[in-house]
Amino acid sequence: MERSEKRLKERLRVCVATCNRADYSKLAPIMFGIKSHPEIFDLEVVVLGSHLIDDYGNTFRMIEQDEFDIGSKLHTIVRGEDEAAMVESVGLALVKLPDVLQRLAPDILLVHGDRFDALALATAAALMNIRILHLEGGEVSGTIDDSIRHAISKLAHYHAVCTRSAERHLISMCEDHSHILLAGCPSYDKLLSAHQRDDYTDIIKSWLGDDVKEQDYIVALQHPVTTDIKNSIKIYELMLDALISFNKRTLVLFPNIDAGSKEMVRVMRRKGIEQHPNFRAVKHVPFDQFIQLVAHAGCMIGNSSCGVREAGAFGTPVINLGTRQTGRETGENVLHVRDADTHNKIYHALELQFGKRYPCSKIYGDGNAVQRILKFMQSIDLSEPLQKKFCFPPVKECISQDIDHILETQSALAVDLGGTNLRVAIVSMKGKVVKKYVQLNPKTFEERIELILTMCKQAMADAVHLNCRILGVGVSTGGRVNPQDGIVLHSTKLINEWSSVDIRTPLSSALHLPVWVDNDGNCAALAERKFGHGKGMENFVTIITGTGIGGGIIQHNELIHGSTFCAAELGHIVVSLEGPECMCGSHGCIEAYSSGLALQREAKRLHDEDLLLVEGMTVNNKEQVNAIHLINAAHLGNSKAESVLHTAGTALGLGIVNILHMINPSLVILSGVLAAHYENPVRQVISQRALLSAQGTKVMVSELEDPALLGAASMVLDYTTRRTY
């Protein structure tokens, strides 16, 4: 008997408080987990808020249907659905909660999310020295919800978060990292295992009618924005107008109890939604059935967190209206219409999204949240003092996309700093050079920066008339670059006075745009990854064959920079101990054999020895001998020129064989003006010199006309957008 009593005393007494249908969907999986371990946990359930209101479906009944014993029902809602009623409801809850919490004396109180009811729970528990475990803190959405969520986080002692970003936000808010669990969303445990029920067609028909097919209907769920009620009601009205025009069967759920909900219901009834043949208006759908309806919808529209969270697990296309979920992490299935100020804009979003399918996203969970949370609760040391610890790390912001970016052509300013010319271009998301500007590259740093700014400002002015939205500036330059800081560390000899130079700061400050900077070889690789032969390839190498030899390496879809930003200096792979001197000061580099300058040097040598020109060739006195003359001579049968080109091709091939043996890419892309001349020699050397396992590596010539500009643009387009059209 004594042992049994001791065991009961050792059980962790957990109180789960649920306020509405939405938070119960997150708390229920945890409640089932707690209930399945009676030897470890003692569960107490408290129900309050809109669960107990008939107008919102009396959703406490679904808790009873799930066979949970509700220990306390607290009527805490003051009707009125305006700001004052919300405040009064918090006050009423604070009056009623102390007696319940004192009677239950839980070891841990579970509080979910960002509702005003949850704020009352956290406030009462914190003042009564009850440990609080807050679910889904650290997220960023918008409106008053953010303030309430973060306030609860500051009151809570422990946190179970859904995403790595939310975890970082809490750490940045000074929460103790050891008290934060990256669990994932508990509702995903049920979503990922249950959304493929065999009877989903029956569920669709029961809510929307027998004639409705899968992916041919819309789920609409729009809540008030308490910090901007008037505008949120306007958006709601525009959404309903757009849905009426779109003419698809639509399930409309009533809004939650926040201030402004009465006005939204009036709008719905004024438009006759409840009697409209295309609409089904309901107050509540059981969560397991709601999963099926969202999973198989042609689109979901509104501002519910379900749209930006749970719907991603199914790849359901979502249109998020207004600012209520601003800042939330989303999968590529979500299209934001933050300035939903016209019927046409929302209708256009419906046209873009309806009927699409996207890859399933697991941003918010992998189906194992509950077991992590249960284990986390067991690890809580009840003898530990309640006083919180604090730290002060930096905050990182997330970037999302808005429909206004789509209605304009998303574009980047690309800058290519060459040895002779300075080029600036407006480049669209699809890699089209909308407009290009070319000027001779000045000699001094000050003149170059001034010219870049002048050309960029001109391009930005032209972009307005071209309906292009400039998202940022990408700069491609020769030499060794620190892309993290936007600094050219060491330049090539072709670009004098361009070393240890901060390019990012003056451009960003003057243009008020984010700026990315990288080496031209790396930019060529980025261009191939986004627009060229490297698209969809995890591992490949790009070799630039031009005035010099450069390149870039993509490994596991990422550009390799190296510890001192010296990776992919492919032109300086040594292929001969006794070779000619290279511009880097070494001997026998690929660049000393195969670059345009190397071929020019050999052409000049042959010309000086009267060994270059053959029948059909002329070089006038004013013309400088260059690589093209050497190539033409070889094509016309000049054996000396052929020998030089053979040596150059062999040197490049040997260097590429070394690359194959070091990093084993699946593709080698030759880029630049000399690429076509080196394709066959490189393939021959690979077949003769490479290991058998590397001989099958593909060698292709780039089809991109401006790899430096396109690569510079891709830095901007890849980092500032999350969707591609």
Rg, C-alpha atoms of the chain: 32
Q: Pairing mode, if any, of strands 421-428 and 433-440? A: antiparallel
> Which residues are CB-neighbours of 696 under 8 A, at least 6 positions away?
none
Q: Is residue 81 part of a domain?
A: yes
**Predicted TM-score (pTM) of this structure:** 0.50
- Helices marked H in 471-584 — which ranges? 504-511, 520-531
Q: How far is CA 485 from CA 83, 476, 537, in A?
A: 47, 14, 28
**Quick one: pLDDT at residue 722?**
45
Clarify whether residues 289 and 347 are in a common domain: yes
- Cα–Cα–Cα angle for 554, 559, 561, nearest 5°? 120
- Flag whether 582 is marked binding: yes
Amino acid in the structure at residue 93:
A
Residue finishing a domain among 478, 498, 532: 532
CB of 77 within 8 A of CB of 58? no
Whether 218 is covered by a domain: the verdict is yes
| Same domain flag for 204 and 162 | no
Asked whether residue 717 is assigned to any structural domain, the reply reads: no
Q: Which of 485, 513, 532 is the last residue of a domain?
A: 532
Residue 15 among known ligand-binding residues: no
In a domain, 391, yes or no: no
Structure tokens at 317: 């296309």
Cα 308 to Cα 140, 149, 325, 553, distances in angstroms = 12, 17, 8, 35
In contact, 401 and 723? CB cutoff 8 Å: yes
Give first-to-last CA distance, the chain, whole Å.
70
Q: How far apart are CA 532 and CA 629, in angstroms?
A: 30
Q: Judge whether 649 and 642 are in contact, CB under 8 Å.
A: no
- Residue 258 annotated to the active site: no
Give the separation between CA 239 and CA 79, rounded to whole angstroms: 26
- 689 domain-assigned: yes
Helices H, strands E: what count in the chain?
A: 25, 26
Residues 479 and 568 placed together within one structural domain of the fold: no
**584 appears as a binding residue in the annotation:** yes
CA distance 126 to 474: 50
Give yes or no: residues 414 and 514 share one domain.
Answer: yes
**CATH code of the domain containing 474:** 3.30.420.40
- Amino acid 193 reads S
pLDDT along the chain (725 residues), means of 10: 48 94 89 95 93 82 91 89 86 94 95 90 94 92 82 94 89 88 86 72 93 94 87 93 95 88 92 94 88 93 87 89 80 87 91 89 82 94 79 50 61 88 93 94 84 95 89 90 88 62 88 90 94 93 91 92 90 91 90 92 90 82 83 90 93 95 95 91 94 94 93 88 39
- Is 264 found in the same domain as 310? yes
Q: Of these residues, 23, 114, 117, 520, which one is catalytic?
A: 520
Which of 532, 560, 593 marks a domain boundary? 532
Residues 62, 167 within the same domain: yes
468 is in an annotated binding site: no
For position 171, which CATH number holds?
Answer: 3.40.50.2000
Q: Is the residue at 103 inside a domain?
A: yes
In a domain? residue 5: no
**Alpha carbons 301 and 347: distance in angstroms, whole number:** 11
Residues 349, 434 within the same domain: no
Are 132 and 207 found together in one domain? no
- CB contact set of 214 (below 8 Å; sequence gap of 6+): 200, 201, 204, 296
Number of structural domains (the chain) is 4
Do 585 and 442 have their domain in common? no
Alpha-helix runs per DSSP H in 173-304: 186-194, 200-208, 229-246, 261-270, 287-295
Same domain (yes/no): 564, 579: yes
CA–CA separation, 203 and 475 (whole Å): 54
| Helix, strand, or coil (residue 416) | strand
- For residues 615 and 636, the answer to whether their CB atoms sit within 8 Å is yes
Task: Based on the fold, state whether residues 511 and 575 are members of the same structural domain.
Answer: no
Dihedrals phi, psi of 666, to nearest 5 degrees: -90, -10
Interatomic CA distance for residues 307 and 525, integer angstroms: 36
Pure H helices in 15-82: 21-35, 60-65
Q: Which H, E and C letters describe 649-665, residue by residue?
A: HHHHHHHHHHHHHHHCC
429: helix, strand or coil: coil
Distance from CA of residue 373 to its chain's centroid? 27
**Which strands, in side-by-side order, build the sheet including 334-337?**
279-282, 249-253, 217-221, 299-302, 318-321, 334-337
Spatial distance between the Cα atoms of 119 and 647, rounded to a whole number of angstroms: 76
| Residue 402, C-beta contacts closer than 8 angstroms, at least 6 positions apart | 336, 337, 338, 339
What is the per-residue burial (b if ≥16 Cβ within 10 Å, else e) of 32-52? bbbeeeeeebbbbbbbbbbbb
Cβ neighbour number for residue 558 with a 10 Å cutoff = 11
Judge whether 113 lies within some domain: yes
| Torsion region of 388: left, alpha or beta (phi above 0 gives left; psi -120 to 50 gives alpha) | beta
590 lies in the same domain as 494: no
Which residues constitute the domain of residue 618? 534-703
